[in-house]
Amino acid sequence: MAGWENSKQMENTSNISQFIESTLLKPETTFSQIETLCADSIKYNFHGICVNSMFIPFAKELLQGSKIKIVTVVGFPLGATMTVAKAKEAELAIQSGADEIDMVLAIGALKSGNTELVKNDIQSVVEASSGKPVKVIIETGLLIEREKILACELSLKGKAHFVKTCTGFSGGAANIDDILLMKKIVGNSIGIKASGGVKTFDQAHKLIEAGASRLGTSSGVDIILNKMGSNMGGY
């Protein structure tokens, strides 16, 4: 449909770097670390970087002339921010130079059965993002299966462009079963970002085969080097 389907799930994973959003969201992150993140992303040709919004202008300057996308987070990491604040946060992030938004689902509202609030929360961020891709972090580690299904359905209704597994701050991690479940619900209409504990090439490859169209990881360089080592060993 919208082209989110991987080309035969990337066949030999030769282009795995283009699935990676190299991520650095720790509260103690420094400008020097962002500089290294950007340099590595250019070196290994990652799809993008994912940083807190404070670093957007700095990253934009460092990535000038490259095709690397700047992804930032909204309502992070709890998802319990007021909808109007999430929307404004997204708007300001886009104005500052962000190319994509990763927003955290209103998890408590979902668990309370307030589906209208959840859908409107998503839709408000999408509308505030001026057509830029919006990913909804459903925080799989906090949800039971029927809640994961509902979160994906509401993300579709809210016109999000991706669903994403985890923030990495509330437990849980990207796993094959969750990706398969998410893929079953969203099909090829929107993308799926696997995030949380993605550390090796083999793991990344299996997540992509299961249906992930992006990988959020702080181990992007290690994954690429791991891939190179695997190829040398006849993987």
Q: Is residue 82 in a domain?
A: yes
Answer yes or no: 164 catalytic. Answer: yes
Q: Is residue 8 in a domain?
A: no
Q: Is residue 199 in a domain?
A: yes
Each residue's pLDDT tens digit, 4-15: 445 444 444 459
The tally of domains found in the chain comes to 1
Q: Where are the beta strands (DSSP E) in 15-128?
A: 20-24, 48-51, 69-74, 100-104
Q: Is residue 143 in a domain?
A: yes
- pLDDT of residue 119 exceeding 80: yes
Share of the chain above pLDDT 70, in %: 91
**Do residues 148 and 178 make contact, with C-beta atoms less than 8 angstroms apart?**
yes
Mean of pLDDT values over 24-47: 98
| 75 vs 106: CA distance, rounded Å | 9
pLDDT band at 226 (very low <50, low <70, confident <90, very high): confident
Each residue's pLDDT tens digit, 129-179: 999 999 999 999 999 999 999 999 999 999 999 999 999 999 899 999 999
Answer yes or no: 43 catalytic. Answer: no
Write down the pLDDT at residue 11. Answer: 43
Q: Is residue 5 in a domain?
A: no
Answer yes or no: 69 catalytic. Answer: no
Domain residues for 85? Answer: 15-232
Catalytic residue of the set 148, 164, 183, 227? 164
Q: Is residue 48 in a domain?
A: yes
Is 0.75 surpassed by the pTM of this model? yes
CATH code assigned at 43 = 3.20.20.70
Catalytic residue of the set 102, 135, 178, 183? 102
